């Protein structure tokens, strides 16, 4: 079997590794335009910050590919003929496949604002984006970042570390308002304040203003304010990269439409990761999910199918993590930004404003439904079990130490958390929680 994979991101690579494991004899070709080798997209920021070099964000050393007989082709796939089962490459070559996986990822949303194509205005998604940012941010003093999501805050951190004064434009009335409840957003606001980031909430971009050389000079906000900026980052989301799918006549909507086996509208052609859209997502799930973890999971799932062990994609329990400047964030299960009438939401905060734990649980069965932690580390496997089993909140709190994943000697807050829980829910009061010791995992 010849498996051709377009895209060497986490999705394509995980699929390739899965198929290699299940079918040692398969021929596997990875085609990608952006880079010769797989790299970690979430780590791009660390290269700009100077924490790492480009070679450090490659998850595998270069010998890995050859030793595992994964053929790498650096080229853009420009055409797809599903009837003949071939892909055309920008090099002029034509690749025949038995199975094809599109793992083409996303492209940054640029918007249609006046001046969005000025020099010094860009998105931040790809290696060329990083390259452009490294060139265009030398010697600048002020920058504006449009968008209050994860990439927006990364851009702010990157620029601030270089001594650039950053202003963020955020449409909501708080940071990441579509995802985070107000208390969480307030803690992140503290980080933004500590790092001297100015944020304009309920404010959007109106226009980008050029200087005499066609470079951005300032932005105009919907509040009528003009903010000087020699560089502007557009972090208003990413959209699936559909160019190849469209060229091949695949059915697309927002993304490439796939069934639960991650198969597209054409036989032998599959799609997964950022670029795919589920035709029938499960209840409460979204059809397009642009996450590293989702790409990895879908890549592995489709790898089984491609290796002849069909496996339907099941979203599974939600989890995610991020870091906002110095504040780590982990979440397990679902914690909606706005309260759900069927759930209690218990929120503990340390007075120093650097630690928070939010636990959501059903009013009727008391089963836990989700956890947010900021400035605390929690154990994924333990939460997976608790959420899967619908463990009642009091039982979870009594054993909270078992989920504590903070390093040794860190202050343990479980007793304080339980005290506050008992005060708030005396009818579900919990005995003293178990502590973690030096001799116990």
Ligand X SMILES: Cc1cc2nc3c(=O)[nH]c(=O)nc-3n(C[C@H](O)[C@H](O)[C@H](O)COP(=O)(O)OP(=O)(O)OC[C@H]3O[C@@H](n4cnc5c(N)ncnc54)[C@H](O)[C@@H]3O)c2cc1C
List residues near ligand X by CB under 6 A.
6-12, 31-34, 41-42, 44, 76-77, 103-106, 124-125, 151, 154, 241, 243-244, 273-274, 290-293, 295, 322
Cβ 303 vs Cβ 19: under 8 Å: yes
Please report whether residue 424 would count as binding another protein according to CB under 8 A: no
Q: Which of 284, 317, 293, 329 is nearest to 389 (CA)?
A: 317
Q: Which residue is nearest to ligand X (CB)?
A: 105
Q: Which of 182, 195, 187, 193 is nearest to 349 (CA)?
A: 187
Cβ 326 vs Cβ 153: under 8 Å: no
What distance in Å separates the CA atoms of residue 411 and residue 354, rounded to the nearest whole number? 12
The alpha helices in 71-181, defined as continuous H runs, are: 127-136, 150-161
For another protein, what does the binding mask look like between residues 94 and 123, x meaning CB under 8 A?
A: -------------x----------------
Nearer to ligand X by Cβ, of 26 and 155: the residue is: 155
Instruction: Select the binding partner of residue 151 from another protein, ligand X, none (C-beta < 5 to 8 A, by kind).
Output: ligand X
Cβ 146 vs Cβ 234: under 8 Å: yes
Residue environment code for 96-109, b if the CB has 16+ CB neighbours within 10 A, otherwise e: ebebbbbbbbbbbe
What distance in Å separates the CA atoms of residue 327 and residue 189, rounded to the nearest whole number? 11
Nearer to another protein by Cβ, of 136 and 343: the residue is: 136
Nearer to another protein by Cβ, of 213 and 411: the residue is: 411
Nearer to another protein by Cβ, of 384 and 428: the residue is: 384
Instruction: Select the binding partner of residue 380 from another protein, ligand X, none (C-beta < 5 to 8 A, by kind).
Output: another protein
What distance in Å separates the CA atoms of residue 335 and residue 372, rounded to the nearest whole number? 7
Among 95, 130, 155, 232, binds another protein (CB under 8 A): 130
Please report whether residue 42 would count as binding another protein according to CB under 8 A: yes
Q: What number of chain residues touch another protein (CB under 8 A)? A: 85
Cβ 120 vs Cβ 232: under 8 Å: yes
Query: What are φ and ψ of residue 176, in 5° steps?
Result: 45, 45
Instruction: Select the binding partner of residue 64 from another protein, ligand X, none (C-beta < 5 to 8 A, by kind).
Output: another protein
Nearer to ligand X by Cβ, of 14 and 349: the residue is: 14
The DSSP element (H or E) to which 397 belongs, if any, is helix 393-398
Q: How far is the CB of 157 from ligand X (least distance, A)?
A: 11
Cβ 204 vs Cβ 222: under 8 Å: yes
Please report whether residue 239 would count as binding another protein according to CB under 8 A: no
Query: Applying CB under 8 A, which part among 159-167, 176-184, 305-313, 422-430 lies near another protein?
Result: 159-167
Query: Applying CB under 8 A, which part among 113-121, 212-220, 321-329, 419-427 lies near another protein?
Result: 321-329
Among 109, 315, 344, 384, binds another protein (CB under 8 A): 384
What distance in Å separates the CA atoms of residue 391 and residue 373, rounded to the nearest whole number? 18
Please report whether residue 409 would count as binding another protein according to CB under 8 A: yes
Q: Which of 31, 97, 99, 28 is nearest to 66 (CA)?
A: 28
Nearer to ligand X by Cβ, of 10 and 306: the residue is: 10
Binding residues for another protein restricted to 161-180, rule: CB under 8 A? 161-163
What distance in Å separates the CA atoms of residue 30 and residue 21, rounded to the nearest whole number? 16
Q: How far is the CB of 435 from ligand X (least distance, A)?
A: 31
Please report whether residue 358 would count as binding another protein according to CB under 8 A: no
The alpha helices in 175-285, defined as continuous H runs, are: 182-194, 243-247
Q: How far is the CB of 424 from another protein (least distance, A)?
A: 26
Angle at 42 between CA 64 and CA 316, to 5 degrees: 90
What distance in Å separates the CA atoms of residue 358 and residue 361, rounded to the nearest whole number? 10
Please report whether residue 276 would count as binding another protein according to CB under 8 A: no
Instruction: Select the binding partner of residue 54 from another protein, ligand X, none (C-beta < 5 to 8 A, by kind).
Output: another protein
Q: How far is the CB of 415 from another protein (least distance, A)?
A: 17
Instruction: Select the binding partner of residue 11 from another protein, ligand X, none (C-beta < 5 to 8 A, by kind).
Output: ligand X
């Amino acid at each position: 079997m010849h498996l051709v994979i377009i895209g060497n991101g986490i999705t394509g690579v995980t699929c390739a590794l899965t198929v290699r494991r299940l079918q040692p004899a398969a021929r596997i070709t990875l085609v990608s335009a952006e880079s010769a080798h797989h790299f970690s997209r979430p780590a791009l920021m660390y290269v700009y910050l100077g924490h790492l070099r480009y070679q450090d964000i490659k998850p595998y050393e270069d010998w890995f590919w050859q030793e595992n007989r994964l053929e790498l082709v650096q080229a853009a796939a420009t055409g797809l003929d599903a009837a003949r089962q071939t892909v055309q490459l920008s090099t002029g070559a034509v690749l025949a496949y038995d199975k094809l996986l599109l793992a083409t990822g996303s492209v940054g949303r640029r918007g249609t604002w006046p001046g969005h194509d000025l020099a010094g205005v860009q998105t931040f998604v790809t290696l060329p984006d990083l390259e452009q940012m490294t060139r265009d941010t030398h010697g600048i003093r002020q920058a504006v970042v449009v968008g209050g999501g994860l990439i927006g805050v990364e851009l702010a951190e990157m620029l601030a570390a270089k001594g650039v004064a950053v202003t963020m434009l955020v449409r909501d009335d708080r940071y990441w308002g579509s995802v985070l409840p107000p208390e969480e957003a307030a803690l992140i606001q503290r980080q933004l304040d500590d790092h001297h980031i100015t944020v304009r909430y309920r404010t959007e971009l109106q226009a980008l203003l050029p200087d005499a050389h066609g470079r951005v000079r300032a932005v105009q906000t919907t509040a009528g304010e003009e903010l000087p900026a020699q560089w502007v980052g557009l972090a208003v989301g990413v959209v699936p990269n559909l160019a190849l799918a469209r060229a091949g006549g695949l059915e697309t909507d927002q993304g490439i439409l796939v069934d639960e086996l991650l198969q597209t509208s054409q036989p032998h052609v599959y799609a997964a990761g950022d670029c795919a859209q589920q035709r029938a997502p499960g209840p409460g799930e979204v059809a397009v999910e642009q996450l590293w973890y989702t790409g990895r999971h879908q890549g592995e799932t489709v790898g089984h199918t491609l290796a002849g062990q069909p496996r339907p994609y099941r979203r599974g329990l939600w989890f995610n993590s991020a870091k906002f400047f110095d504040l780590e964030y982990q979440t397990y299960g679902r914690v909606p930004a706005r309260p759900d009438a069927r759930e209690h939401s218990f929120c503990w905060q340390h007075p120093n404003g650097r630690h928070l734990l939010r636990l959501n649980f059903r009013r009727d069965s008391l089963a836990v439904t989700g956890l947010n932690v900021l400035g605390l580390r929690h154990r994924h496997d333990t939460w997976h079990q608790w959420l899967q089993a619908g463990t009642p909140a009091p039982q979870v709190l009594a054993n909270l130490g078992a989920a504590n994943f903070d390093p040794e000697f860190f202050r343990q807050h479980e007793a304080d958390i339980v005290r506050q829980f008992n005060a708030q829910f005396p009818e579900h009061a919990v005995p003293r929680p178990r502590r973690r010791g030096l001799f116990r995992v």
